[in-house]
Structures are given as structure tokens and as C-alpha cells.
């Protein structure tokens, strides 16, 4: 069997939410429609490389509808009751983009745990298979299948005709973006694709555009974030010539349009900070004063302790390490990466002994093998300066 190239596959997956929408409009409930489309999708991925259809969407609708009817029939005979399902589909109205938008809201419904919302969004909106989602999230396929079943059960009966909470949708998309990549699926690229689609569906809603800009600006630095063997490279040491200038230009343009609408939100503020970093050709050219101002905005918007921590780093760069330490004194020490920031600021302030201790402590509490390695090495580096 020949393989589909990634672009063709993405084009097929673009169709998934619309096809689910068609089935729902024809009277299928969301859970069954989504199952049927998933099965049709798996068939399409197998059959299309050798025998591409002339009308991909029509093919998917027909295949999914048949799956749905089959499933409903066997359900009917099992339960010995009538279901209002006809083999001949009623003529659905013209597909409408609102269907896709509603799917975003449904899959990221606030009643769902984050991991479930991520999985359901990737399947029903993203058109990924359960196997791909499982690989990308590093869990067994059966676990992922069950997670999706339970998520669908939880939102069963929720109307697909109302808009939900945009903030939860954005949070779920950002989680997908940060999930990284495992298996053959690049979840960061997938999150960008879905957010791009959401920007169009919401008529350039500033916060949605802000999130897209933030993702693009982060994605632009991806190649430079790891060194040989997967070693972490911090922002200040990254080879800026490896940043993707096209992505940066696009992110900045999208952000400027969003900011011009004068409805600031946390994603726009975060993107503004990312844009200021992207703007500096050398780390020494970074406009830390402006970055601190954006952190102040972000803090006013969110009150988040993580923002407070990052702000302390920026203050340290703008006004010196002692000012940074003073800003750090207002941060809860339980915030993740607190020790790493404290270590950095202490080193900059010339207190190498404390810095070495703090780096070692930060390594013990780090969130990944790469972080442990990086922070251990920092501790070793500072200790060497003490000798």
C-alpha cells in the first residue's frame, strides 16, 4: 500500500468536521456521527493512495453515512426498537462553517477534563485517528480510545446549536500546541492548523488571532531550541539565524492586526512578548523594558503566578539582578521553575554559592529529562566558577 503524503492527509483531515456536521444535520447524534466519520476516515486513508476519489468530501459523507446506518441498524436489532434512520439520506442543507465552530466548542466543553478535551478535539475537529492521537500523547491506543468514548458520553445530549466558551477552546488548542510531537504527528503544527481555521471561523477574533500569533512565534524558534542529542538550548543562547523569519513575520502581522482592534487579552499579550524576543537580532538587543511593560499588562489580565515568575526574569534583565530578586520575592516559591529562576538571578547578582545550590535543587524538581540534564549542567558550571 502506498503512503499518503502529509499534505494530502491534512487536506483529508480538513474535511472531517464538515462531514460530521453533515451527518448531525441528517439526524445522527454527535457521538455516532463522530464514530462513523472516524471509521470512514480510516478507510479513506487506506483506499485513497491507490484509488483517489474525484469528490473526496462526497466520498467521506457517503462512507460515513453507510457506517452510521449500519451501526444504527445493528443497534436497532439488538435493542429491538425502531430508530428513525433511513438508508437513503435526507437532503441536508448546504454545509455551513458554523457547524465546524460548534464542534470546537463541543469538544472543548468545560465539563471535560483537559486530556479528554484535547483528545476529542484532535479526533473530531482535527480528523486524526485514535492511533495517531495515542502515539502523539504517548499513551496506549486502547487507553486513548476509552478516553474518547468517555468524553463523548460526558457531552452526550449537549446541544450542538449553541456557542460555548471561547476561552476553553483556546486553552485546549494551546495544550495541543504544547503537547509537542510523538509518533508521526506533529501536534504543534496541528494546533496551528486548527487555530488558523478558528481565526477564520470567528472572523479574526483578537484573542484567537493572538493565540495563533503566539504559536507561530514560538514555532519559529523550534529548530533552535534543542542542540545536539536533544539538549535544551535556552532563549539567550539560541542561534537566531535558525529562527524561521517567515513564521515570525506572519505572527507579527497577525498580532498587529489583532492589537489594532483594541481588545487586549492574555494571548495577545503573550504574543507581544514573544514578538519582542523575535525582534532582537542579538540577545543584547532585546527590549526588556517593553517586555516588562507587557508582563505588567499580562499580570493585570491574569494574576497568574507563572506570569509573576516570568516577569521577575524580565525585571532582572531590564533593571538588574537585584531588582529581579526583589520582584521574585513577591512570587510563590511553589510555582514550577521558581528555583531555576532564583538560581539564574542569584548568579547574575554574583551570589554563585546560592546559585549552584538552587540550580541543583531546580534539577531535582525539573519536569523533564532534558530539564534535569540542563539544570544539573548549570549547577556544575556555576560550581566550577567557585573552585
Contacting positions for other proteins (CB under 8 A): 229-231, 356, 359-360, 363-365, 369, 372-373, 376-377, 379-381, 383-384
Least separation, in Å, of the C-beta of 185 and other proteins? 20
Beta strands (DSSP E) in the chain are: 181-182, 185-186
Least separation, in Å, of the C-beta of 341 and other proteins? 17
| Residue placing its CB nearer to other proteins in the complex, 29 or 141 | 141
- Strand (E) or helix (H) holding 120: helix 114-120
The per-residue b/e assignment along 41-60, b for 16 or more CB within 10 angstroms, e otherwise, is beebbeebeeeeeeebbebb
| Residue placing its CB nearer to other proteins in the complex, 92 or 365 | 365
| Residue placing its CB nearer to other proteins in the complex, 69 or 360 | 360
| Residue placing its CB nearer to other proteins in the complex, 65 or 374 | 374
Beta strands (DSSP E) in 183-234 are: 185-186
Least separation, in Å, of the C-beta of 370 and other proteins? 10
Least separation, in Å, of the C-beta of 360 and other proteins? 4
360 Cβ neighbours under 8 A, 6+ residues apart: 375, 376, 379
Least separation, in Å, of the C-beta of 366 and other proteins? 8
Least separation, in Å, of the C-beta of 233 and other proteins? 14
| Residue placing its CB nearer to other proteins in the complex, 23 or 375 | 375
Listed as own residue / partner, the contacts of 335-341 with beta carbons closer than 8 Å and 24 or more positions apart are 335/305, 335/306, 335/308, 335/309, 336/306, 336/365, 336/367, 337/309, 337/362, 338/309, 339/365, 340/366, 340/375, 341/309, 341/312, 341/313
| Residue placing its CB nearer to other proteins in the complex, 163 or 364 | 364
Distance CA 198, CA 172 (A): 12
Amino acid at each position: 500500500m502506498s503512503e499518503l503524503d502529509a499534505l494530502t492527509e491534512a487536506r483529508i483531515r480538513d474535511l472531517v468536521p464538515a462531514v460530521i456536521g453533515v451527518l448531525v444535520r441528517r439526524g445522527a447524534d454527535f457521538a455516532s456521527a463522530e464514530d462513523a466519520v472516524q471509521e470512514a476516515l480510516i478507510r479513506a486513508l487506506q483506499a485513497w493512495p491507490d484509488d483517489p476519489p474525484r469528490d473526496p468530501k462526497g466520498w467521506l459523507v457517503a462512507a460515513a453515512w453507510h457506517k452510521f446506518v449500519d451501526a444504527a441498524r445493528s443497534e436497532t436489532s439488538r435493542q429491538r426498537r425502531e430508530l428513525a434512520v433511513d438508508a437513503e439520506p435526507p437532503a441536508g442543507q448546504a454545509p455551513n462553517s458554523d457547524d465546524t465552530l460548534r464542534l470546537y466548542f463541543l469538544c472543548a466543553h468545560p465539563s471535560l477534563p483537559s486530556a479528554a478535551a484535547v483528545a476529542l478535539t484532535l479526533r473530531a475537529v482535527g480528523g486524526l485517528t485514535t492511533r495517531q492521537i495515542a502515539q502523539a500523547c504517548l499513551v496506549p491506543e486502547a487507553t486513548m480510545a476509552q478516553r474518547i468514548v468517555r468524553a463523548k458520553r460526558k457531552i452526550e445530549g449537549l446541544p450542538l446549536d449553541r456557542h460555548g466558551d471561547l476561552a476553553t477552546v483556546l486553552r485546549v488548542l494551546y495544550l495541543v500546541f504544547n503537547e509537542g510531537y510523538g509518533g508521526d504527528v506533529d501536534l504543534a503544527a496541528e494546533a496551528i492548523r486548527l487555530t488558523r481555521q478558528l481565526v477564520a471561523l470567528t472572523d479574526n477574533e483578537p484573542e484567537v488571532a493572538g493565540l495563533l500569533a503566539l504559536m507561530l512565534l514560538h514555532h519559529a524558534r523550534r529548530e533552535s531550541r534543542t542542540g545536539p542529542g536533544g539538549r535544551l538550548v535556552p532563549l539567550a543562547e539560541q542561534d537566531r539565524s535558525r529562527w524561521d523569519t517567515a513564521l515570525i513575520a506572519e505572527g507579527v502581522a497577525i498580532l498587529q492586526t489583532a492589537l489594532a482592534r483594541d481588545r487586549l487579552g492574555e494571548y495577545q499579550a503573550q504574543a507581544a512578548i514573544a514578538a519582542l524576543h523575535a525582534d532582537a537580532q542579538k540577545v543584547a538587543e532585546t527590549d526588556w523594558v517593553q517586555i516588562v511593560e507587557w508582563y505588567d499588562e499580562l499580570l493585570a489580565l491574569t494574576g497568574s503566578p507563572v506570569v509573576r515568575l516570568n516577569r521577575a526574569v524580565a525585571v532582572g534583565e531590564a533593571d538588574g539582578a537585584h531588582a529581579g530578586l526583589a520582584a521574585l520575592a513577591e512570587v510563590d516559591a511553589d510555582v514550577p521553575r521558581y528555583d531555576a529562576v532564583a538560581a539564574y538571578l542569584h548568579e547574575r547578582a554574583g551570589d554563585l554559592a546560592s546559585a549552584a545550590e538552587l540550580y541543583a535543587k531546580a534539577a531535582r524538581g525539573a519536569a523533564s529529562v532534558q530539564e534535569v540534564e540542563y539544570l544539573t549542567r548549570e549547577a556544575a558550571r556555576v560550581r566550577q566558577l567557585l573552585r
